[in-house]
A and B are shown apart, each in its own frame.
Chain A
Amino acid sequence: MLALLQQTSDFQIISRETVQLIMPEVILTVFGCAALVLDVMLPRALKKVVAWVSLSGVGLSLVSLGILYPNLVNNQSARVGFFEMILVDDYAVVFKLMFLIGAAISIILSIKYLDEEGEQHGEYYSLILFSVVGMMFMASAVDLLSLFISLELMAISVYILVGYLKRDRKSNEAAMKYFLLGAFSSGVLLYGMSMVYGLTGSTNLAKIAAAIPNVLKIDVVKTMTERSVMDMRYLLLLSMVFMAAGMFFKIAAVPFHMWAPDAYEGAPTSITAFMSVGVKAASFAMFGRLFLYGLPDLRATIAGNAADSVPSLPGWAVLLGVISAITIVWGNLGALTQNNLKRLLAYSSISHAGYTLLGLIAGNQTGYIGVVLYLFIYTIMNLGIFGCIIALKRRGISGDNINDLNGLIKKAPWLTVMMTIFLLSLGGIPPTAGFIGKFYLFGGLIETGNPWLARLAILAVVMTVVSLYYYLRFVKHMYIEEETETTPLAPSRVLNWTLSVAAVVIVLIGVYPKWFIDISQRAARSQALKTYSYKAEEAEQPLELPGSMGAPSR
């Protein structure tokens, strides 16, 4: 194996520079393993130490990301490593930052939640760390192989976490549903990937992007009797649909969303929070890599050939447009009738996935900024709202039902105010961050000037108004309804502080969004630029479609 690898021109010794590229992930992995060992060594009363160790791991990882990043900007060559499987650019770094912030808040939420459940175990935190490692690799992977394995690392860890309350019937059931549908979607995604490999002869996304124009060539053979068209475009369309379907499962877009409400309701609340932001954001990062970086030529149409009357096929933007329209409508309508808070938020998170897809469809700078910015804001606000639900949880009261919120303003005024801020932000009301995110997403669509996309934007705005109904229902229960039970809340100081910071950040982004828009812009720009610069490079030496006569590709 090694000998074969050495023959290829890609071979490079794994040097210090390349290891530096994945330093944040390495640190997290070490801390994940340490958490497992600590869990066995510590007595039952001290299990909480594992949580703090994991949290410090996330903090260290953030620090290493901060140290690594300026080095990368100065040194262009060190950005690609591990046989061109990892690319650390602005896009990856911004997403990694997002995942680490999400993981840190999730761990803090978990401490309180697991205390209430009486299930404080170390492996929980190590699984969170491992899944974050998967997410971080998903953001920086630029090879089908590394994308797939990092996706699975994340997914398998989360399957276990969903079923973490093993004596709880709901948790079991949620884990089973999530696992079966998740594994199914991985199979579909993998088959799509194998077709792309067959068509382009490479698993590297940049090489795939370069080889696509060759696949698009249509050979029309005209003889006296028949006219045969050699057309690979249908296969390309099919593989694109397969990969998109696999990704739609992961982000819970509508025809593939069936698992989401059940998995979100049954999972431990802290994991629901983690899943709804981390897994979703990571899947969007991968979505962006696969489609913007790997298949940029297939955006609007898969080009046909007018001269030979070969029609064009719809590209992935069309597919995403239809799916996002259905997702936004269905997610919002589904949420209207829910009384379980977790289930309601599951439907709301489905609709938010639809909104985020809009940015990928628009395909301009504003849209891409919107995607990154919205995912960032969504991470904070959704973790915030789940944190509030966890804060409501105390002995005998799950805090899941909407009636548990009745008269909350009298019991916990500050918690109520924070919850209101998060809800208004989810609904996209102006002084909060949610408005800024939606503004960019919808603005990107309008900017394209395409009448269909403008209609899509109008639909999204209308459905945003619908969503206000169920977000304001929370507010009604908190402020207007009379108290139905008087059990005092069991507050946790750390949780309260975290939520307060999150609420302040949400308002701050709403008032002064410049800093967040800047970093989102960097991410968006790097994504677009990389694709184009690579194509310009390839144009000089056209890549031969490998395998036409069984010849080796290199």
Chain B
Amino acid sequence: MSRGAKRGGTILAVAILIAPAFAADAGRWIHVRVDENGEHGAKVDVQVPLSMVSSLMPTLKTKIDLDGDLDFGHGKMTVAEMRDAWAAVKHAKDGNYVTIRDASGTVRVAKRAGVVHVEVNSDGGSERVTLRLPVALVDAALGSGEQLDVPGLLEALSDVPSGELIAVDDDESKIRIWIDDRPDTRDDRP
């Protein structure tokens, strides 16, 4: 083997050994942005590495009382019931599942390419909620126990493709939650 090839092999081996360390450093970031409309509206940006949220979980779990029920306004649903309903959606083919139109607005639920899309338009379109929920993410959140699996959700978030997960728009504010591989900067701020 030539000297150059040996040197190249050594560099490649070192690169392979240290690459995971850099990958772990890069990590994934969760971003939350809330913009209130108007000249004096509040602007909130929070972005943290997912690994930081994960490492805070033991502390957060002692502070957050995650009971097993989800309140949807018209009655509670246990995580187990939610999991059963979710299983039906998960195993179904791609398509539009639910379209509800009434005087107050429209709700659409669809599944495309492993992602469940939920769109809610109300008050004549002035309030819009868009959820993009990868199947793996909901699977992880519902877990297998009687409570929501928040650590599992965080683990699943690290594998979700970059992009917007939640968007809420109304007359007063805009809310965005998205996942990315890097910290973001808001160009209009110092």
**Are the chains A and B members of one assembly?**
no
Binding site for A on B (CB under 8 A): none
Binding site for B on A (CB under 8 A): none
